[in-house]
């Protein structure tokens, strides 16, 4: 499996290299009202204005000042081995959001990845991006939170999760259209963790309140994706690649 040559083309067509003007009343308001945690960079990007409209904490996280960080920079600073997957998730998530007109502010997605610090270091990051502002049933701005997490251990497998009113449909769409081979969603990881604890597919289905066939659809495709031959091999692969703690 390989990624298409145009991975990231869709989402990149909506972003620019323009940083935020932090002297505006809007930016000062965000500074007063948006909570930021230690070692966390926060941004708000406006599709309407075609630029960042707020940034805070980025020098601590990746070495770039808040008034110089841009949306394009954040995308481009992903470490090479993670960039194709991140580009593809960005594309598919934005495409999914563009099909929705209701409860848009409840949708977000999370990715574990590495970003390149300005000084060349690799920084383990948990990034979460969600819809911030809606106008006439369309997402017109997004908010991103990228926090350093030094406890992350990376193997071959990319980990992500989707959130929102149609969470399962969101993850299914990402799974269906992602081309990156080594990837696992939150619900797949949840089911796999229960398998590792000895639960049967039927028992897992009862616990998470779905059908047994739904659980099978979460587990069985992992055999081909991770090139394993048995459930035991799959669980072993999961531990070896830090999917399971």
Q: The sheet that has 40-46: what strands, in order across it?
A: 51-56, 40-46, 138-148, 122-135, 108-116, 158-163, 183-184
Report the C-alpha gap between 62 and 218 in whole angstroms.
Answer: 35
How many Cα atoms occupy the beta-carbon half-sphere of 110 within 13 Å? 13
Residue 2's pLDDT is what?
43
Point out the residues of the chain with pLDDT beneath 50: 1-4, 179
* 54-63 per-position pLDDT tens digit: 999 999 999 9
Residue 169's pLDDT is what?
76
Q: Which two tokens stand for residue 74?
A: 């954040």
Cβ–Cβ under 8 Å, residues 5 and 102: no
Architecture per CATH, 186-240: Orthogonal Bundle (1.10)
Residue 175's pLDDT is what?
65
pTM: 0.77
Burial of 140 (0-12, 13-18, 19+ CB in 10 A): middle
Indicate the helix (H) or strand (E) that contains 146: strand 138-148
**Beta carbons within 8 Å of 95's beta carbon, 6+ residues apart:** 10
CATH 1.10.10.10 placement within the chain:
186-240
What are the beta bridge partners of residue 208? none
Burial of 17 (0-12, 13-18, 19+ CB in 10 A): exposed
Residue 84's pLDDT is what?
82
CATH 3.30.450.20 placement within the chain:
9-177
DSSP 152: -
DSSP 162: E
Residue 180's pLDDT is what?
52
Range 9-177 has CATH code 3.10.20.30: no
């Amino acid at each position: 499996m390989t990624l298409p040559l145009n991975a990231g083309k869709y989402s990149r067509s909506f972003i620019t290299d323009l940083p935020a003007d932090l002297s505006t009343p809007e930016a000062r308001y965000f500074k007063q009202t948006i909570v930021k945690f230690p070692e966390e960079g926060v941004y708000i990007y406006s599709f309407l204005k075609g630029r960042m409209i707020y940034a805070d904490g980025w020098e601590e996280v990746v070495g770039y000042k808040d008034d110089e960080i841009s949306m394009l920079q954040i995308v481009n600073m992903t470490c090479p081995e993670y960039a194709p997957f991140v580009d593809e998730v960005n594309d598919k998530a934005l495409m999914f959001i563009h099909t929705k007109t209701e409860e848009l502010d409840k949708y977000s997605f999370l990715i574990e990845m590495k970003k390149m610090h300005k000084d060349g270091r690799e920084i383990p990051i948990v990034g979460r991006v969600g819809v911030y502002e809606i106008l006439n049933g369309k997402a017109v701005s997004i908010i991103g939170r990228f926090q350093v997490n030094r406890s992350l251990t990376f193997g071959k497998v990319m980990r992500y999760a989707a959130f929102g009113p149609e969470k399962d449909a969101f993850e299914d769409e990402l799974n269906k259209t992602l081309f990156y081979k080594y990837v696992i969603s939150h619900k797949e990881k949840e089911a796999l963790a229960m398998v590792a604890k000895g639960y049967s597919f039927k028992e897992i289905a009862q616990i998470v309140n779905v059908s047994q066939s739904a659980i099978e659809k979460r587990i069985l495709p992992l055999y081909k994706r991770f090139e394993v031959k048995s459930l035991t091999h799959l669980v072993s692969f999961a531990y070896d690649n830090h999917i399971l703690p």
